[in-house]
Amino acid sequence: MTAIQEKTLAVKVRKDFPILHQTVHGKSLVYLDNAATSQKPIAVLDALRHYYEQDNANVHRGAHSLSVRATEAYEGARDKIAKFINAASRQEVIFTRNATEAINLVAYSWGLNNLKPGDEIITSVMEHHSNFVPWQMIAKQTGAVIKYVPLTKNEDFDLEGFKCLLSDKTKLVTIVHVSNTLGCINPVEEVIKLSHEKGVKVLIDACQSIPHMPIDVQEMDCDWLVASGHKMCGPSGVGFLYGKQAILEAMPPFLGGGEMINEVFFDGFTCGELPHKFEAGTPAIGEAIALGAAVDYLTEIGMDKIYAYEEELTAYLFRKLAEVPQIRIYGPQPSQDGKGRAALAAFNIEGIHGSDLSTLLDHEGVAIRSGHHCTQPLHRLFDASGSARVSLYFYNTYEEIDRFVMVLKETIDFFTNIMG
């Protein structure tokens, strides 16, 4: 598909997202905070509404028709996700509240029971807090040690640095696929291959990759992979953990309660089968069903088309950002055709605070994020308390990038003038 056709694709899908067609402070909205959360198409909103209007009942419990329908739709959503990521079986997909809960599940179930003093966990300096803090908590309890993969000179994942850290002491590698701050696409296949050669398990945080590119967990060969529904056109309150079946089977339950048991006695219980063993309590039923609708929506467009279009947007975004004075963009440069980097840019403008920038851009209808993006340790490496961040999705257009860059330049001029 050519660039012009892809542009038409973005314009075509915008009608599916009612929220995009509004004004903010009297200006038409330009939503460029997609790494924080994506917008939801009508198909997802309809699925949520249909569930609550027609099928609302608890799952796996009742014999009545509504409960049967709710259960079928909920388990159908699991099938859709399993197919979307090419899991070997539906038992390998566990619904969680979000990616953060999925990482905690692995940390508490696998980490707490398999790590001992002196064992090493390798992660990277660019991780989101949700891939730092659970492991820091587990390391404290088990005596395991955390090692951090550094950055290259280009502010990319340092594969050579990773190789130096990987040793006989390593028991787990847990890294992000696409950084929410640097935008780099990490060489996860190579990391997984090298780790498996040493018998080391690997968890991939796919929060910022799964919404934007095709993911095949069998090809990638990760042991676990986590994602959040709200970043991939689905609702908030639902995410999932993928895990290889044999590994999940060997892991003890994370949370106890209803749904996850087989039998309960006064002196103990037996566990239910996968995937229910890890889904204690009533799940986010409507949200999981709507996430299934999001997966249908993305599949219908085609993840390869989304990825290709976003590469074009990345190339255009970086060409336009090169015109902005005093800009410091974090992370590696994309190639001329936008490859090698996700469609996002965290940046600072000398002398202007990121939150002032995002507030003034909001007054022009342009939504970008500012702050530390839950990557405080990474920002400290750059000696920055935070940054502004623009992040795109397949419904964003070239015209929106133009508007963003124009308003950004005007805002910089404004600050330059008042600062004398």
Report the C-alpha gap between 100 and 137 in whole angstroms: 14
324 forms part of the interface with ligand C6P (CB under 6 A): no
Touching ligand C6P, residues 254-273 (CB under 6 A): none
205 forms part of the interface with ligand C6P (CB under 6 A): yes
Cis check: omega of the bond before 325, within 30 degrees of 0: no
Report the C-alpha gap between 126 and 157 in whole angstroms: 8
Annotation says 374 is catalytic: yes
Tokens matching residue 146: 């955390």
Picking from 37, 41, 44, 35, the residue whose alpha carbon sits closest to that of residue 13 is 41
Rank residues 205 and 310 by Cβ distance to ligand C6P and give the closer one.
205
Q: Quick one: how far is CA 223 from the chain centroid?
A: 17
208 forms part of the interface with ligand C6P (CB under 6 A): yes
Minimum separation from the CB atom of position 186 to ligand C6P (A): 11
Per-position x/- string for 16-55, each x denoting binding to ligand C6P as judged by CB under 6 A, each - no binding: -------------------xx-------------------
Report the C-alpha gap between 179 and 318 in whole angstroms: 17
Tokens matching residue 16: 């599916």
99 forms part of the interface with ligand C6P (CB under 6 A): yes
Task: Tell me which stretch binds ligand C6P (CB under 6 A): 1-9, 73-81, 205-213, 259-267.
Answer: 205-213
Minimum separation from the CB atom of position 249 to ligand C6P (A): 25
Rank residues 78 and 369 by Cβ distance to ligand C6P and give the closer one.
369
Rank residues 277 and 369 by Cβ distance to ligand C6P and give the closer one.
369
Per-position x/- string for 177-196, each x denoting binding to ligand C6P as judged by CB under 6 A, each - no binding: ---x----------------
Rank residues 91 and 98 by Cβ distance to ligand C6P and give the closer one.
98
Q: Pick from 106, 139, 176, 200: which binds ligand C6P (CB under 6 A)? A: 176
Rank residues 82 and 378 by Cβ distance to ligand C6P and give the closer one.
378
Rank residues 195 and 209 by Cβ distance to ligand C6P and give the closer one.
209
Instruction: Give the pairing of strands 120-124 and 93-96.
Output: unpaired
Report the C-alpha gap between 25 and 245 in whole angstroms: 51
CB 345 within 8 A of CB 7: no
Picking from 166, 170, 135, 136, the residue whose alpha carbon sits closest to that of residue 149 is 166
Report the C-alpha gap between 305 and 311 in whole angstroms: 10
Tokens matching residue 95: 């619904």
Per-position x/- string for 358-387, each x denoting binding to ligand C6P as judged by CB under 6 A, each - no binding: -----------x---xx-------------
Minimum separation from the CB atom of position 71 to ligand C6P (A): 26
Burial, 44: exposed, middle or buried (Cβ in 10 Å; 0-12, 13-18, 19+)? buried
Task: Tell me which stretch binds ligand C6P (CB under 6 A): 53-61, 68-76, 96-104, 256-264.
Answer: 96-104
Report the C-alpha gap between 176 and 128 in whole angstroms: 8
CB 262 within 8 A of CB 271: yes
Q: Which parts of this chain interact with ligand C6P (CB under 6 A)? A: 35-36, 98-100, 128, 130, 176, 180, 205, 207-208, 228, 369, 373-374
**Residues with a known catalytic role:** 374
